[in-house]
Chains A and B, each alone.
Chain A
Amino acid sequence: DAGITQSPRHKVTETGTPVTLRCHQTENHRYMYWYRQDPGHGLRLIHYSYGVKDTDKGEVSDGYSVSRSKTEDFLLTLESATSSQTSVYFCAISEGPGRSEQYFGPGTRLTVT
């Protein structure tokens, strides 16, 4: 299994509070991704990173920001959580150009009340 961990694994928070989810990898892969999974939608890309300090938006990036200061860590921040951001969040990694597979972390279940 690819060395990907996510923390926390579960979180309950209140509307309007900031939340940061962490993805940590031990594979030294260049690319990292954040997806959210919702019933009826499959997985949708929030943001991704193609190197330290290099990030770009995915299809559902509104309300989210990311940061990557080290190769191994990719942070997802909800500046002011809303109930619509209740979801399961997955981090994924990929080696980069020419490597097709993305490997997924175990997921974080976030509930915003």
Chain B
Amino acid sequence: AQTVTQSQPEMSVQEAETVTLSCTYDTSESDYYLFWYKQPPSRQMILVIRQEAYKQQNATENRFSVNFQKAAKSFSLKISDSQLGDAAMYFCAYRAMNRDDKIIFGKGTRLHILP
């Protein structure tokens, strides 16, 4: 069965600094998607970034980028120039490419931004 593990329940970073959130996953599939979702205090789940496993190039979205290591089954999120609005719970998630049922979520990392 596929699993997603986020080993850091909470992290803190100074405003304007860079922070990296870790995620590892386990799967026997070769084709899949990986995601980072952000959940601010409003509770809304917001897709931050997506990575297709067949792509070697790491995905980037403005200040957000990932380090995707397929062999190591590692998918970390780097947030550059951290802003107060980045404070949220971040979930790493996995979805097999040819399936349309669930996304498997990690348990989340709560990110605090220190002014």
Contact = CB atoms under 8 A, between A and B. Distances in A.
B102 A42 contact: no
A48 B101 contact: yes
A74 interface: no
Given A40-B107, A42-B91, A43-B105, A103 B47 contact: yes
Nearest to A44: B105
Interface residues of B, number: 22
Interface string B17-61: 000000000000000010100000011110100101000000000
A100 B50 contact: yes
Interface residues on A, range: 20 to 34
A33 B102 contact: yes
A58 B101 contact: yes
A46 to B, nearest CB: 10
Contacts of B107: 40-42
A107 B44 contact: yes
A112 interface: no
A56 B44 contact: no
Interface centre among A56, A94, A104 (most CB of B within 10 A): A104
Contact of A45 (B91, B97, B102, B106): B102
Contact of A43 (B42, B47, B91, B95): B91
Interface string A89-113: 0101010110011111011000000
Interface in B42-95: 42-45, 47, 50, 52, 91, 95
Interface of B: 4, 33, 35, 42-45, 47, 50, 52, 91, 95, 97-98, 100-103, 105-108
Interface of A: 31, 33, 40-45, 48, 50, 56, 58-59, 88, 90, 92, 94, 96-97, 100-104, 106-107
Instruction: State the 8 A-B residue pairs at the shortest beta-carbon distance, nearest first.
Output: A104-B45, A42-B105, A45-B102, A100-B33, A43-B105, A42-B107, A107-B43, A48-B101
23 contacts: A31-B100, A40-B107, A41-B107, A42-B107, A42-B108, A43-B45, A43-B103, A43-B105, A45-B101, A45-B103, A48-B101, A50-B100, A58-B101, A88-B43, A92-B103, A100-B50, A100-B52, A100-B97, A101-B35, A102-B95, A102-B103, A104-B44, A104-B45
